Structure 1
């Protein structure tokens, strides 16, 4: 039996809007629910931080754009992406944070990369442009309305364009209980392999699981 039936009666999945939700897990901080349709695991809204609290958490991050270790981390997405985009491509680093290292690395590789971040680079104009690629590294797990945000990004991609996402993926309930990734209070939605398969079907996209936390979705050219 679900542990919190009152919540379940009003809850919808933030990724696919299904009402087929069930209790997944809990810890001393909050409870987690999952969606039967798309397999997303999420935190109910009453546990979400306020915008001010959320930004305070991000301000604690120290992602130095010249840090060699951080660059190696980002290269697990960057290297395969560079093999898939045309020369001098136009891209967007979505949710780049205060230190947009990936955007810098893409520009060093000869590409143009616009930057957007709700708190640090909030220029909405870049969300009205079209791009050859869009990156979202360690971003989607922070989104209160992931489908709305991702659908918008998908519309911004040109035919043949790549949406490159880095986020750690849910494996199962046993692993989730001891998963450090869920302990960040700004992490409120967790994607599984099946979530990305659901998105690829929705968008009729080519899906590639690049690494354990890197996924590419490629927009197919029209027939």
Structure 2
């Protein structure tokens, strides 16, 4: 019996691509592509791979990469709004940038900032940059984040999107063993419907903003 889609839980998933490392399936309902769950790393191996990353608060390239989400975010929320940087990693460079702009930013990362107090509050915006492709239970996690948004708040996501099987074959993004779920544009439309989002906005090739209804 094949595993259901990690996002929408549909059992209607088909073989999408396979290489020497992993096999991938695609959901016919929401178009999410996901690596076969048997190939997903366990928490210990996952953290060991993250620990190899050399991102730091002083890394100019890393800061430039994350800064791309700042302008579209500040078009939607203004200081001193309360923000959550979800999955911030060991070097929360984006939170540092946002604090410099006057935002109040809380941190949560299951490996590096696991204090659950941050998940006991509501926020004007929640930002998850290069996070959702790592989630083993994306529906549960995204619904949890949605519950922590204030009415009218924004969920800001950064992740590269699946285009088609031909592009996937040479897509470097899939080669990171901690990347297990790959969102298609239609995946976000499904998510917006599931969350009853009042707005779904795409910015560039890898940013998505969903707004929670005002009431």
Determine if the TM-score, normalized by the shorter chain, exceeds 0.5.
yes
State how far apart, in whole Å, the 1-side matches of 2:20 and 2:5 are. Answer: 23
Task: Quote the residue 1:51 is aligned against.
Answer: 43
- Check if 1:142 corresponds to 2:165: no
- Check if 1:207 corresponds to 2:200: yes
Q: Tell me the alpha carbon deviations over residues 127-178 of structure 1, each in whole angstroms, 9 at most, x when there is no partner.
A: 1210000000000000000000000000100011110000000000000011
| 3-state SS of paired residue (2:5) | coil
Q: Is the 8 A contact 2:7 2:139 kept in 1?
A: yes
- Check if 1:152 corresponds to 2:144: yes
Q: Tell me the alpha carbon deviations over residues 92-127 of structure 1, each in whole angstroms, 9 at most, x when there is no partner.
A: 000000000011111011001100011100011211
- Determine which of 5, 11, 25 is the counterpart of 1:19: 11
Task: Quote the residue 1:6 is aligned against.
Answer: none
- Check if 1:73 corresponds to 2:79: no
Q: Is the 8 A contact 2:159 2:206 kept in 1?
A: yes
Over 3 Å off, 4+ runs: none
Q: Is the 8 A contact 2:85 2:126 kept in 1?
A: yes
State how far apart, in whole Å, the 1-side matches of 2:120 and 2:194 are. Answer: 22
- Determine which of 83, 90, 100 is the counterpart of 1:108: 100
Q: Is the 8 A contact 2:126 2:145 kept in 1?
A: yes
Residue segments in structure 1 that go unaligned for 5+ positions in a row: 1-8
| 3-state SS of paired residue (1:62) | coil
Q: What's the offset of the Cα at 1:209?
A: 0.3
State how far apart, in whole Å, the 2-side matches of 1:97 and 1:70 are. Answer: 12
State how far apart, in whole Å, the 1-side matches of 2:128 and 2:79 are. Answer: 20
TM-score by length of 2: 0.97
- Determine which of 174, 177, 188 is the counterpart of 1:185: 177
Task: Quote the residue 2:20 is aligned against.
Answer: 28
State how far apart, in whole Å, the 1-side matches of 2:110 and 2:140 are. Answer: 15
Task: Quote the residue 2:2 is aligned against.
Answer: 10
Task: Quote the residue 1:42 is aligned against.
Answer: 34
State how far apart, in whole Å, the 1-side matches of 2:63 and 2:152 are. Answer: 26
State how far apart, in whole Å, the 1-side matches of 2:61 and 2:42 are. Answer: 31
Give the paired residue count.
Answer: 214
- Check if 1:163 corresponds to 2:155: yes
